[in-house]
A and B are shown apart, each in its own frame.
Chain A
Amino acid sequence: MSEEKKTTRRGIAAAKSLKKLMADYFYEMDDAAKTGSRKIAWCTSVGPAELLRGMGFLVYYPENHGAMLGATRMSTDLIPYANAMGYSPDICSYLTCDVGSYLQKKTPLTMAYNIESVPRPDVLVFNTNQCRDVQDWFAWYSRELNVPLVGVHTHRDIGDIRAYQIKDIASQIEDLVPGLEKVTGEKFDMDRLKEALGHSRRTSELWRACLEAAAASPSPWTFFDATIHMAPAVVSRGTKAANDYYELLLPELQQRVKEGVAAVEGEKHRLYWEGMPIWGKLRALSEQLFSLKSCVVASTYCNSWIFGQLDPDEPFESMARAYTELFIVRDEPFKEQYITDCHEKFKFDGILFHDAKTCPNNSNNRYGMPERLSKKLGIPVLTINGDLCDLRCYSEEQAKTNIEAFIEQLEER
């Protein structure tokens, strides 16, 4: 196996606009927090963001902050402060690094945007569709900042989605409205919700199309690129700004496909990434795989921000459906079929499972799925032990050797 080499890659031009979009997003929020010009809601990543947008909130996502703490590798130093407060090193490291960041008054926003602190919330809104940790996380801030906490409790491990589940979730979302009206001091306006839903639906369509560009061989971009370019789909969904961004990115990706531009020069192997990103090691992993001529073409993670069911004509029901049909909410057979369908579409020849120590919810290797999928799809799988933000749980050397050996294994086939 040859050594890792640094090679120049043709960058994605839209990245420039991405930087601006993100800066605008944070400056607008910072300004609102300082002047009180707009109400700010904190929302979990797959929480009812459209409702919040539709009610005029600026929406801030602590998970995005967690990812930034991870990517800047501030997280590993900050997590222990939350641990010392009784929040175990075994629970979500987004939670612990974010709380640590609050306690230590340190945020990557300062370095990136010269913003002193994250925006103070007026309300905290969660959805347990992804895990219980988000509720506990927001509850901590609710106590600390004396801010109202509301949320949706989703059914979990669902196979077929039943009408009673949708009815329940839809009414839970609708029930949030009076409390939120109290915070905004304004009456709920259905048209504004529908508008936000329309935007969000469009964001989903565009984002899906961007991700599907990677079905081309060679792939025009990688999972590692997508973890960066997904930011607007995460923080600005339900706004026109997000759509404008993807209207820019999508044609660029399509053009790359047309011209045969490979994200990984001489692409030899195509892989699927299952589980959370290892935020602090994205670059290292991307470079290693690049040098091994291996492209991670698809991932469950980036796909998680596709809410294809959103429909302005059925606001609450469609939100319920969109938030419930997500991979993370579903049972093992559904998840396996989902990855099988991805295999069909993206034609990958191996799967990397990331077993994130602090996120059992999004570590799908723990109930025998790698073994079952390997058998079903006839492709090898590898589990990498690590974590999203807590690099104390990650052995870089071991992960690198495992990946290198995995690619050797693919080459023997």
Chain B
Amino acid sequence: MTDKQPETRNLKPATPLKSGSSTRNPLFAGVDVGASRTKVAILDAEKRLLGHAVRKSGIDFTETAEICLKASLNMAGALREDVASCVSTGYGRKNVLFSDETKTEIGCHARGCYHYFPMAMTIIDIGGQDNKVIKLDNQGRRLNFKMNRKCAAGTGAFLEEMSMRLGIPLEEMDSLARKSEEMVELGSYCTVFSGTEVLEKIRQGKKVTDIVKGLFFSVIKRVLEMDSLTDRVAMTGGVVAHNPILVEMVEEITARDILVPEYPQLTGAVGAALFAMEDKK
């Protein structure tokens, strides 16, 4: 148990996870508090995913983590005291009052992804607020990693901003892009410049479907310029989960088969739960 000094001291104290000793099978919780979404994964000792939940992180990370934990325990049909250990990760990892330890999201994504695909690989994670490219060796050890720099380019935030500008719901972007016949390419790095570019394309009479596909293409370009791709390539993250077209487009652009875990958005949470399990051993 770490002696954490969370930033959110004023919040009501969470019930410690290990308040009772359960005689049932121990479970392991991973909590990934991203800047955009909070994800929780509950694994049993056989590494089976028994419960999970995803919520908007909102402004109260501590509370959201609580809600997600409850929901995923519900799904697993388990009790709080069944959780033997918990690791939190992500932007708000230090706000999770009930976790035993924190790890970075880079470590947890790597761990989670390697669990599904135990091989040397390049992981591309596209999240709501940032991207990561992580390279692993065949033992799952990190060789290097890069996070995107300080802007929205290539992240979910970029897509969100553009969906607002175009007045189309975020969840419809994937299906719209699939209807594109002639993708419109956007040239600029910057979200604001891209916004202007999009308006320009609309003025030119380009179809929304083609523009939306261009927006996805722009995200991919930003990510691919972060690092080279070596070995197998896996894609994870909420943006990938909700827009599988991204995977297909990367496959087309790079002429590679891309690996995608069953729940791409939960990769970090699963990795955190695996760390929790290892810590317990």
Chain A residues within 8 Å of B, Cβ to Cβ: 1-3, 5, 374, 380-381, 383, 385, 393, 395, 397-398, 401-402, 404-405, 408-409, 412-413
Tell me, yes or no, whether B149 is within 8 Å of chain A by CB: yes
B87 to chain A, nearest CB (A): 10
Besides A1-B107, A408-B106, A409-B144, 8 new A-B residue pairs in contact (Cβ under 8 A), listed by A number? A395-B150, A401-B91, A402-B147, A409-B106, A409-B107, A409-B142, A412-B141, A413-B141
A1 to B141, CA, bound (A): 16
CB distance from A351 to the nearest CB of B (A): 12
CB atoms of B149 and A405 under 8 A apart: no
Query: Which chain B residue has the least Cβ–Cβ distance from A370?
Result: B144
Whether the pair B147, A401 counts as a contact (CB closer than 8 A) is: yes
Q: Which of B117-154 contact A (CB under 8 A)?
A: 130, 141-147, 149-150
C-alpha spacing A404/B80, complex, angstroms: 29
B residues in contact with A398, CB < 8 Å: 130, 147, 150
Question: Which residues of B are found within 8 Å of A383, using beta-carbon distances?
Answer: 146
Q: Do A405 and B104 form a contact, CB below 8 Å, given A2-B2, A3-B94, A395-B150?
A: yes
- Find B2's partner among A3, A393, A402, A405 (CB 8 Å cutoff): A3
On chain A, the residues within 8 Å of B130 by CB distance are: 398
CB-based closest 4 A-B pairs:
A405-B106, A405-B104, A409-B142, A412-B141
The docked-state distance in angstroms from the alpha carbon of A395 to that of B101 is: 24
When chains A and B are docked, how far (Å) is the Cα of A401 from the Cα of B2?
Answer: 18
Chain B residues positioned under 8 Å from A385 (CB to CB): 149-150
- Chain B residues proximal to chain A, CB less than 8 Å: 2-5, 91, 94, 101-107, 130, 141-147, 149-150
Cα-based distance from A381 to B105 in the complex (angstroms) = 18
| Chain B, Cβ-Cβ closest to A413 | B141
Instruction: Kindly provide the distance from the CB of A384 to the nearest chain B CB, expressed in whole angstroms.
Output: 10
Known contacts A380-B143, A409-B142: A1-B106 contact under CB 8 Å: no
By a CB distance below 8 angstroms, the chain A residues around B147 are: 398, 401-402
Q: Is the CB of A405 within 8 A of B91?
A: no
Whether B145 contacts A405 by the Cβ 8 Å rule is yes
A404 to chain B: which residues have CB within 8 Å? 104
Which residues from chain B contact A402 at a C-beta distance below 8 Å?
106, 147
Docked-complex contact A401 and B144, CB < 8 angstroms: no
Contact of A381 with B144 in the complex, beta carbons under 8 Å: yes
